[in-house]
Chains A and B, each alone.
Chain A
Amino acid sequence: DADVTQTPRNRITKTGKRIMLECSQTKGHDRMYWYRQDPGLGLQLIYYSFDVKDINKGEISDGYSVSRQAQAKFSLSLESAIPNQTALYFCATSDGHRSDTQYFGPGTRLTVL
Chain B
Amino acid sequence: QQQVKQSPQSLIVQKGGISIINCAYENTAFDYFPWYQQFPGKGPALLIAIRPDVSEKKEGRFTISFNKSAKQFSLHIMDSQPGDSATYFCAASGSLRAAGNKLTFGGGTRVLVKP
* Chain A 17-61: CB-based contact to B (< 8 A → 1; otherwise 0): 000000000000001010000001111110010100000001000
Query: Nearest CB to that of A58 among chain B residues?
Result: B102
CB contacts (< 8 Å) of B32 on chain A: these are: 100
Which of A62-70, A72-80, A104-112 lines the interface with chain B?
A: A104-112
Q: What A residues does B96 contact at CB under 8 A?
A: 96-97, 100
- Is there contact, CB below 8 Å, between B43 and A100? no
Query: How many B residues touch A, CB cutoff 8 Å?
Result: 26
Contact of B102 among A4, A40, A48 (CB under 8 A): A48
| B residues in contact with A31, CB < 8 Å | 100-101
Our count of residue pairs bridging A and B at CB distance below 8 angstroms stands at 63
Partner of A40 from the list B9, B34, B103 (CB cut-off 8 Å) is B9
Known: A42-B106, A58-B102. A100 touches B34 (CB 8 A): yes
Residue positions of A touching B, CB distance < 8 A: 1, 4, 31, 33, 40-45, 48, 50, 58, 90, 92, 94, 96-97, 100-107
User: Which 3 A-B pairs give the minimum distances between C-beta atoms?
Assistant: A104-B43, A42-B105, A43-B105
What is the interface of chain B, defined by CB distance below 8 A to chain A?
2, 4, 6, 9, 32, 34, 36, 41-46, 49, 89, 93, 96, 100-108
